[in-house]
Amino acid sequence: MREITTTDELLLIKVGKTGFVLNERPDVRRVHHASCNSVSTWIDHPKYFSESSNAAKDWLDRRFGSDGWVNCSYCGGLNSTLP
């Protein structure tokens, strides 16, 4: 995954509705589908993006361990079936 550094980049990802966004909050690292409404339109916490769920999972597990992050319960995160 790569860090999302600008609000413009984040908005393009949300409008594009493809890929996955990690929201790294102080209490939990949660992964969302790009079109999830829970992803804010501003960078309130560090956010990361990947187009591929497999690449995202590899990156997350390597960096945080398999229990160091969670999928969003609303959109399903990496398992999302959202369009």
Residue 72 binding Zn ion, by CB under 5 A: yes
Q: Which is nearer to Zn ion, 7 or 38 (CB)?
A: 38
Q: Tell me how far, at minimum, the Cβ of 75 lies from Zn ion, in Å.
A: 3
Q: Mask of contacts with Zn ion, 18-47, x by CB under 5 A?
A: --------------x---x-x---------
Query: Which residues lie across from 21 on neighbouring strands?
Result: 32, 49
How many Cβ atoms from other residues are within 10 Å of residue 20's Cβ? Answer: 28
Q: Tell me how far, at minimum, the Cβ of 37 lies from Zn ion, in Å.
A: 7
Q: Please give the order of strands across the beta sheet that includes 20-24.
A: 2-4, 47-50, 20-24, 29-33, 70-71
Residue 1 binding Zn ion, by CB under 5 A: no
CA–CA separation, 70 and 17 (whole Å)? 20
**DSSP 8-state secondary structure symbol assigned to residue 79:** G
Residues that bind Zn ion (CB under 5 A): 32, 36, 38, 72, 74-75
